[in-house]
């Protein structure tokens, strides 16, 4: 069994295929909402993003099970936490990848150099050879997973696919061995294709905002009889919306891929995110948009007024909810979302 290599990013900045080509399984650090943040709270103020504190708690407790950890430049919290992890997380290998915020030729050239530097460090530390052929093989496997996820995702709007079922698949995409995952997704595709039609008592919506890393948020939406049929989350469409080019230099292909995926609010130009959401709304009929934001999530808090304003200008019905980082199924949120459902159905 390949040893897991952990990575911490706040969107989908990390190139998993490099770690796969090194013979390890990439595992995204997602925190654990069921575990108190007390260990991390000794080093990080409580008003800092609770998800990032949960990731630090997970790192302090579980680093020994990982071959190494890589950070990618994401939001300000991620960037500043790297220094904290250097002191308090006992990692055998801890590496920072300065992924760019911009999307221009200079940024792409920088990203290319950063990925090649990462490859050299992996090769030296783990005594492996990450060849173009190995990278190409990892890219093909990654594309197989992404293709299957796109086909599965498309079924959400026409079949009875509970929010929890979809979320569990998106989580597996960033935690499981990709070869086994691809086989599992094939079996899941057969299952979902045989499911009953989209239930008439559910209302289709697009969900955007902070990343959803605990299934209880999806349960809240389900309890309000809102069915997520489109999204732009990193545990979601951002992960599989685009395919990596298999015809060009593998590292360059990875750089180009990250310029074509749905962008989080930490990337420039910020209009790219709105463009993707508009394309989703044009492709898939939904009744409304749910913009959910995790408390203390600054990037989405700053992005929210513009995004919501533009979506409403387009004629969309939008619900904005702020949620706590908790596994508790919040009945007040359910009530608010039920009222939204009644307004749009």
DSSP one-letter string for 1-40: -PPEEEEE-SSS---HHHHHHTT-EEEE----TTS--HHH
What local confidence, expressed as pLDDT, does residue 44 receive?
A: 87
State the pairing for strand pair 203-209/288-294: parallel
**What is the distance between the terminal CA atoms of the chain, rounded to a whole angstrom?**
49
Alpha-carbon gap, residue 80 to 12, rounded angstroms: 18
Here the tokens at position 3 are 């040893």
Count of Cβ atoms closer than 10 Å to residue 344 Cβ: 17
More confident residue, 259 or 79: 259
Among positive and negative, which fits the CA dihedral 38, 44, 46, 48?
negative
Count of Cβ atoms closer than 10 Å to residue 149 Cβ: 25
The string of pLDDT tens digits covering residues 82-117 is: 889 999 999 999 999 999 999 999 999 999 999 999
More confident residue, 44 or 245: 245
Instruction: Check whether 58 has a pLDDT greater than 80.
Output: yes
The mean of the pLDDT values for the chain is: 95
Per-residue pLDDT band at 1 (split at 50, 70, 90): low
For the chain, what percent of residues have pLDDT higher than 70?
A: 100
Asked whether the whole model's pTM tops 0.85, one would answer: yes
Instruction: Check whether 149 has a pLDDT greater than 70.
Output: yes
Average pLDDT over residues 143-168: 98
Per-residue pLDDT band at 268 (split at 50, 70, 90): confident
Half-sphere exposure of 321 (CA within 13 A, CB side): 24
Minimum mean pLDDT among 24-28, 163-167, 253-257, 327-331: which range? 327-331
Place of tokens 């221009």: 104
Here the tokens at position 296 are 């203390």
What local confidence, expressed as pLDDT, does residue 90 receive?
A: 92
- Report which DSSP code applies to 323: E
């Amino acid at each position: 069994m390949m040893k897991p290599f952990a990575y911490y990013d706040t969107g989908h900045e990390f190139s998993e295929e490099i770690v796969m080509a090194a013979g390890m399984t990439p595992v995204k650090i997602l925190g654990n909402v069921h575990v108190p943040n007390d260990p991390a709270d000794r080093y990080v103020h409580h008003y800092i993003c609770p998800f990032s504190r949960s990731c630090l708690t997970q790192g302090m407790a579980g680093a020994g099970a990982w071959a190494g950890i890589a950070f990618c430049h994401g939001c300000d919290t991620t960037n500043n936490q790297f220094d904290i992890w250097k002191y308090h997380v006992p990692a055998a290998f801890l590496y920072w990848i300065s992924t760019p915020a911009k999307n221009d030729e200079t940024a792409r050239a920088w990203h290319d150099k950063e990925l090649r530097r990462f490859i050299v460090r992996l090769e030296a530390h783990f005594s492996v050879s990450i060849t173009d052929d190995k990278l190409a093989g990892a890219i093909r496997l990654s594309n197989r997973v992404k293709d299957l996820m796109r086909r599965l995702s498309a079924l959400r709007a026409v079949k009875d696919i509970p929010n929890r079922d979809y979320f569990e698949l998106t989580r597996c995409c960033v935690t499981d061995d990709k070869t086994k995952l691809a086989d599992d997704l094939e079996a899941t595709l057969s299952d979902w294709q045989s499911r009953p039609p989209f239930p008439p008592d559910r209302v289709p919506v697009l969900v955007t905002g902070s990343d959803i890393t605990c299934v209880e948020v999806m349960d809240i939406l389900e309890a309000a009889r809102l069915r997520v049929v489109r999204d732009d989350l990193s545990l979601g469409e951002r992960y599989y919306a685009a395919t990596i080019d298999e015809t060009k230099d593998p590292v360059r292909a990875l750089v180009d891929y990250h310029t074509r995926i749905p962008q989080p609010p930490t990337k420039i130009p910020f209009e790219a995110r709105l463009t993707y959401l508009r394309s989703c709304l044009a492709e898939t009929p939904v009744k409304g948009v749910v913009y959910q934001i995790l408390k203390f999530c600054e990037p989405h808090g700053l992005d929210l007024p513009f995004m919501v304003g533009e979506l409403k200008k387009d004629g969309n019905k939008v619900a904005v909810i702020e949620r706590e980082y908790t596994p508790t199924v919040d009945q007040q949120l359910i009530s608010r979302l039920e009222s939204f459902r009644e307004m749009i159905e």
